Amino acid sequence: MSAQYDLYETPNPDNTEEQKPLHARIVPSGTYSKKEFLERASRSSQTFNYNVIDAVVGVVIDELAEALSEGYTVELGELGYFSISLKCTHKVMNKRDIRAESICFDNVHLRTSKEFKRKIRREMELERVEKSKHAPRKVEFSIEQRQQMLQEFLKSNGGITRLEYSRLTGLSRLKAIDDLNAFIKNGILRKRGAGRTVFYVWKQEE
């Protein structure tokens, strides 16, 4: 079975009209539950049945948690290395301000081995999803992000047209108009000109 992927538009952090290259991303095939994964492992094994594999996985998880809690880095063969990270519960500017209760567990990290990555690469077959179902998708920005993008654009250009706002945010014509009207209503923008010469300026700086 092939892994499916699709192409997505890359956000432009500079808020310019320059088009960024598309990037590929896996389309998830689903999620294996523990039971489903163990059933799959037991079917592929000629030595161990489901109950044996389940018991071994349980022991590995318990021992791994205990070793990590004692500060060890744990290597599990081709899988790679497990380690933990810590975090401070509040900002500390001086080492003398650190107390044991100020430090706590943060996360578990897995650094996969080169052998494990090569194994995946050898097994993987990629297939593009059907265009009819998955066209390249635009990144959608929240209204707060769009307002920030608008403000940055106006700082550099002074004014903006509806077409420029559509290109900036990736919104359709009607959605762009809705946004601009909402910004006017909220006292953020002021409308200038008429007809085809309409443009918008940052009202708060007038």
| Structural domain spans, the chain | 3-31+73-128, 143-205
pLDDT at 156: 85
| Angstrom distance (rounded) from CA 6 to CA 23 | 8
Of the candidate ranges 1-5, 31-35, 191-195, the one whose mean pLDDT is the lowest:
1-5
Q: How far apart are CA 80 and CA 82, in angstroms?
A: 7
The mean pLDDT of the chain is 83
Q: What number does CATH give the domain 143-205?
A: 1.10.10.10
pLDDT digits (tens, 9 = 90+) for 90-147: 666 666 666 656 788 889 999 999 999 998 888 888 888 875 344 445 567 888 999 9
- Tell which wins on pLDDT, 1 or 92: 92
pLDDT given at position 31: 87
- Beta bridge partners of residue 201, listed in sequence order: 159, 190
pLDDT above 80 for 63: yes
Going by C-alpha positions, the residue among 68, 34, 70 that lies closest to residue 53 is 34
Q: Parallel, antiparallel, or unpaired: how do β-strands 23-26 and 3-8 relate?
A: antiparallel
Q: Across 71-182, where does the E strand assignment appear?
A: 74-75, 80-88, 103-112, 126-128, 159-160
Whole-number pLDDT of residue 14: 59
User: Rounded to whole angstroms, how far apart are CA atoms 120 and 61?
Assistant: 23
In this predicted structure, what is the pLDDT of residue 110? 94
* Helices and strands, number each (H, E), in the chain: 6, 9
pLDDT of 2 reads 72
Query: Within 13 Å and on the Cβ side, how many CA atoms surround 142?
Result: 2
Give the whole-angstrom CA distance, residue 126 versus residue 25: 11
Taking 60 as the threshold, does the pLDDT of residue 150 lie above it? yes
pLDDT in tens, 25-58: 888 888 889 999 898 888 877 788 999 999 999 9
User: Is residue 13 scored above 70 in pLDDT?
Assistant: no
Cβ neighbours of 148 (radius 10 Å): 13
**Residues 178, 162: contact at Cβ < 8 Å?**
no
- Evaluate whether 198 touches 184 at the Cβ level (below 8 Å): no
- The pLDDT value given to residue 115: 92
Prediction pTM value: 0.54
CA dist 15 and 169 (Å) reads 9
pLDDT of residue 60: 95
pLDDT for 200 equals 92
The pLDDT, as a whole number, for residue 19 is 66
**CA angle 120-125-128, nearest 5°?**
130
CB-based contacts of 199-204 (< 8 A; 24+ apart in sequence): 199/159, 199/160, 199/161, 200/159, 200/160, 200/161, 200/162, 200/165, 201/154, 201/158, 201/159, 202/151, 202/154, 202/155
